[in-house]
């Protein structure tokens, strides 16, 4: 898969599906490929997390480079938590050297959330400043303080957001700042409520943000009602309606029902103007993602043939 697949497909107006993997804590690359290769030719791009859940893993640039050589289009997640600006600038240049174009800038979980809570956080830069740094390297060929950067960094820059059911006076100031800093696409936190997504996206459209940012809504193939409640409780900003959880509880096979719900939600998201695609994350259920994407695409193909 081309390293420009994600941007090209978004600009072509295709409904894009990205997925997310967490590199293992392993020095054997096959352990990474065992997780990633089922997504090859299935997902349009694959996010590679950076110290997810504030835990040590195979480093993100190495993992992303392995995926790219293996025919996937990686999205490098780069967090502000663990590195000062010098290290982050070096990471960005390293990504460019390896031809890694898709960069998703994130704050990162606090170390207290991980298995080494005494680790010292850095947070020298916030996510908007790091976005602006990446944009300066790409657009001006220099670091923010003016030092030249050789070569060409052809970054496609992403940011995160949390969908909300917007009150009447709500304005998307956070997204406006991320756009100004250099964001081109957005992947959101879980939002499994199409009504909330419609109202959130409509507000973004009022501010012309969906014309300038490709919005990918976070979804999940839920493994169980218990998993859904855990996500809603522990992952900040996650939106999972109680009615959906009750549907899972009533199902004879909760995992299968979770797959069906995810596909239904993907179909609904595809019909919302301003939604460019979806981003699938599956805590403790990563093996479900390739199957869900394949089933969704098969259904979409059948619909096109019937019409």
Domain count, the chain: 1
Please give the pLDDT value at position 303: 59
Using CA atoms, how far residue 107 sits from 83, 137, 201, 226, 264, in Å, is 11, 19, 23, 28, 31
Give the CA-trace dihedral at 163, 166, 81, 184, to 10 degrees: 60
Asked if pLDDT for residue 306 goes beyond 70, the answer is no
Return d(Cα 143, Cα 209) in angstroms, integer.
Answer: 27
pLDDT in tens, 55-102: 999 999 999 999 999 999 999 999 999 999 999 999 999 999 999 999
Asked if pLDDT for residue 304 goes beyond 70, the answer is no
Please give the pLDDT value at position 3: 59
> How far, in whole angstroms, is CA 163 from its chain's centroid?
14
Asked if pLDDT for residue 1 goes beyond 60, the answer is no
Please give the pLDDT value at position 285: 84
Q: Cβ atoms within 10 A of the Cβ of 28, count? A: 10
Burial of 166 (0-12, 13-18, 19+ CB in 10 A): middle
Return d(Cα 158, Cα 106) in angstroms, integer.
Answer: 9
Using CA atoms, how far residue 12 sits from 1, 3, 4, 9, 72, in Å, is 16, 16, 12, 5, 19
Using CA atoms, how far residue 168 sits from 50, 133, 165, 172, 203, in Å, is 36, 34, 10, 12, 10
Range of the domain at 251: 5-306
CATH code of 121's domain: 3.20.20.220
Query: Cβ contacts of residue 16 below 8 Å, gap of 6+?
Result: 6, 9, 10, 44, 45, 214, 216, 276, 277, 278
Please give the pLDDT value at position 302: 59
> Mean pLDDT across the stretch 127-133?
98
Asked if pLDDT for residue 307 goes beyond 60, the answer is no
Please give the pLDDT value at position 283: 80
Residues 34 and 23: beta-carbon distance below 8 Å: no
Residues 161 and 179: beta-carbon distance below 8 Å: no
Return d(Cα 290, Cα 287) in angstroms, integer.
Answer: 7
Return d(Cα 10, Cα 214) in angstroms, integer.
Answer: 7
Return d(Cα 82, Cα 121) in angstroms, integer.
Answer: 6
pLDDT in tens, 37-54: 999 999 999 999 999 999
Q: Cβ atoms within 10 A of the Cβ of 42, count? A: 18
Return d(Cα 199, Cα 203) in angstroms, integer.
Answer: 6
């Amino acid at each position: 898969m081309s390293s420009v697949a994600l941007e090209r497909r978004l600009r072509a107006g295709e409904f894009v599906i990205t997925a997310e993997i967490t590199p293992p804590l392993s020095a054997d690359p096959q352990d990474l490929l065992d997780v990633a290769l089922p997504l090859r030719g299935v997902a349009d791009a694959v996010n590679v997390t950076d110290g997810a859940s504030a835990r040590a893993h195979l480093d993100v640039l190495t993992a992303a480079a392995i995926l790219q050589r293996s025919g996937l289009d990686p999205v490098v997640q780069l967090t502000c938590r663990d590195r000062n600006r010098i290290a982050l600038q070096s990471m960005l240049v390293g990504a460019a050297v390896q031809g890694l174009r898709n960069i998703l800038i994130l704050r990162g979980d606090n170390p207290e959330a991980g298995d080494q809570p005494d680790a010292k956080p850095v947070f020298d830069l916030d996510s908007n400043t790091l976005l602006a740094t990446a944009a300066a390297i790409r657009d001006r060929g220099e670091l923010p303080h003016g030092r030249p950067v050789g070569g060409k960094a052809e970054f496609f820059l992403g940011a995160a957001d949390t969908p909300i059911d917007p009150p009447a006076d709500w304005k998307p100031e956070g997204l406006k700042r991320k756009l100004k800093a250099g964001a081109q696409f957005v992947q959101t936190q879980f939002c499994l409520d199409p009504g909330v997504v419609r109202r959130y996206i409509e507000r973004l459209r009022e501010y012309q943000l969906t014309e300038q940012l490709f919005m990918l809504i976070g979804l999940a193939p839920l493994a169980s009602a218990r998993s859904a409640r855990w996500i809603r409780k522990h992952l900040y900003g996650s939106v999972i309606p109680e009615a959906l959880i009750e549907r899972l509880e009533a199902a004879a096979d909760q995992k299968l029902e979770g797959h069906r719900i995810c596909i239904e939600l993907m179909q609904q998201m595809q019909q919302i103007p301003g939604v460019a695609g979806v981003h699938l994350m599956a805590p403790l259920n990563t093996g479900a993602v390739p199957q869900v994407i394949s089933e969704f695409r098969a259904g979409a193909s059948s619909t096109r043939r019937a019409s």
